[in-house]
Amino acid sequence: MKFFVDTADTADIKELAATGLLDGVTTNPSLILKAGRPMKDVIAEICDLVEGPVSAEVTATEADAMIAEGRSLAAIADNIAVKLPLTLDGLKACRTLTDEGRMVNVTLCFSANQALLAAKAGASFISPFIGRLDDINIDGMDLIREIRIIYDNYGFETEILAASIRSANHVKDCALVGADVATVPPAVLKGLVKHPLTDKGLEQFLSDWAKTGQSIL
């Protein structure tokens, strides 16, 4: 499974990119607001930091305007994935931009039928929102399972990009049911490495090593 980080904080992205574990970045207007800088400046800097897809979201709601904004965003860098909402206008824009050879991430997916339509429209990525479904007492992981089955049934190449991830368990469960990508907040991604027994074991090893009085170098 690929790991994207869901942030527009370039300091976090640079830190995570240095680990070699980061496959891409997703942003949205809310994250751009937090960044407090011009959108295109932020996106351009992110594209310089990572080689993988960087999702940049349109703000228009009508297809022709979405297409125009998508082309403008795609001109920032070769690794831009234009992010479009899962509406009829968004799907129309998706087909046009995809036919032009651009990557498209269709976002705000909450049903398997929506995901099927996005794949038919040629989306590079579909972004089902797990956490927001969990918030209304619907198991978001069931949606990932349904999309996986449908895509496998028909050989769709659209990648399932699990979004609105809130916890390490979300990440694990996404991997178990076959999501292609998980886009994760920086704190959650960094937290995946943590385990109390790892910390305890390392503390013991270092303590015992100090008692030997030796040095590796």
Structure tokens at 146: 């349904």
> Do residues 163 and 185 make contact, with C-beta atoms less than 8 angstroms apart?
no
Give the other-Cβ count within 10 Å of 63's Cβ: 19
Determine whether 119 is exposed, middle or buried from the number of CB atoms within 10 Å of its CB (0-12, 13-18, 19+).
Answer: buried
Active site residues per annotation: 83
Q: Which residues contact 197 (CB under 8 A, 6 or more apart)?
A: none
Instruction: Give the integer Cα–Cα distance in Å for 31 and 47.
Output: 16
